[in-house]
Amino acid sequence: MRRSMLGRLAVAACSLSLLTAFAPAAVGADGGASAAGGSGRSYKKVGYFTQWGVYGRDFQVQDLDANGSAGKLTHINYAFGNVSAEGKCFTGNIPGEADAWADYARPLDAANSVDGVADTWDQPLAGNFNQLRELKAKHPGLKVLISLGGWSWSTHFSDAALTPASRKAFVESCIDLYIKGNLPQDGTRGGAGAAAGVFDGIDLDWEWPGSAGDTDTKYRPEDKRNFTELVKEFRTQLDAYARSQRKAEYELTAFVPTAPAKIDAGFDVRRIMRDLDFVNLQGYDFHVSGEPRTAQQSALYARGDFSVHGTVEAWQRRGAPAHKLVMGMPFYGQGWTGVSGGGDGLGQPATGPAPATWAAGYEDYKALKKLADSGAYQVHRDRRGGHAWLFDGTTLWTYDDPQVLRAKTGYIREHGLGGAMFWSLDADTADGELMTAVDRGLRGR
């Protein structure tokens, strides 16, 4: 998960030499979960909603209702909440650091509101948070989690997790802001309890404990131990607050990496899995457009390379139960231009990231679908590997389409995994084509 795609591509390309490749091997369900006889009702379907997507992409919470995705999701992860230099959860109107305007101050008109009623000037909660509250009211059972960190906002996680006192204060601040909903006053918006009931838990997206992430993100060898203790502190405080509110539970999840080297550097798998409800596995960005050669970014199988299967195997080998592993899926593609060498374009040298709508080398599925439908690009598939790409002789895009997602959901059911996660919901088509494919696949249809 990322906020700054340009930084993400550059850093990921530079860090590939640190990652340990692995080949697929057989993985089976561990008995902790049932494939549920093909019914999707027992599976997690977790979609990330991006705070900034309401601007350029003009993707509003109401669009999840309009395109049918809200009725198929079990969880929405709101991306992102930031961590201050003082090790606290915070918000405000600080360019590049926090956006209270999008979160809870921006008024929505009737046409963009889930309940069809325009926001008033004096209501304490507006913006995305209020729309999420309305969406939950319309879709009982849907849970919303605040996702903390991401690629750009993991900067101060290591400091926040450093000592028992810092962990306690950090967790208290996050629960106060997001779970209790005590928002800073912003004109008529915010105040004590303004966002109470919006969030049903917390998703930890620290990228990465114990190893390099974004250029300014701190990391230490002791991060692995401290992350374990941070997870425990979140679990303890969330459970205590749930009891005080006579609520069944607040959920606690994490986004976790593919590379075995990063897993081993930052994650005591057996211990953290006791306190986490589930983890969302990185199932994409195995290769990125900052690299000099084209490659797959999200293959289900890839011998001698990163793959979804290899990621599942790596986490299970270290003690993670299958039913707590949720497979990450990209609703976007990685692209290269200036591709030479002929053939189908895969594995060939390229001059750089492909031009795109929002960031070079990164394109939403809805745009890639138009390229595929235009006839200008040929769709290529590695059916054994479970991935697809588009190539026009010069430019290549590697991506997941409904056919790939059907293979991946079949894998989830076959191996007793916990479900599917997607980055990000604003990249799907107007009619929610990818979300529908995942939902049907998990139902065995």
pLDDT in tens, 174-190: 999 999 999 999 999 99
Which residues are known to be catalytic?
207
CATH of the domain at 217: 3.20.20.80
Structural domain includes residue 387 = no
pLDDT score for 1:
56
What's the domain count of the chain? Answer: 1
Which helix (H) or strand (E) covers residue 98, if one does? strand 98-99
Query: What DSSP string runs through 309-368?
Result: HHHHHHHHHTT--GGGEEEEEESEEEEEES--S-TTSTT-B-SEEPP-SSBTTEEEHHHH
- How many CA atoms does the CB half-sphere of 264 hold within 13 Å? 8
Q: Which domain holds residue 297?
A: 5-331+402-442
Residue 347 lies in a domain: no
Q: Return all residues near 54 (Cβ < 8 A) that are at least 6 apart.
A: 60, 102, 106, 128
Domain assignment present for residue 282? The answer is yes
Whether 300 is in a domain gets the answer: yes
- Tell whether 190 is covered by a domain: yes
pLDDT digits (tens, 9 = 90+) for 364-377: 999 999 999 999 99
Please check whether residue 45 lies inside any domain of the structure: yes
What are the pLDDT digits (tens) for 288-313? 999 999 999 999 999 999 999 999 99
Query: Is residue 32 assigned to a domain?
Result: yes
Instruction: Render pLDDT for 150-179 as a digit per residue (tens, 0 to 9).
Output: 999 999 999 999 999 999 999 999 999 999
Q: Decide if 16 is inside a domain.
A: yes
Provide the whole-model pTM: 0.92
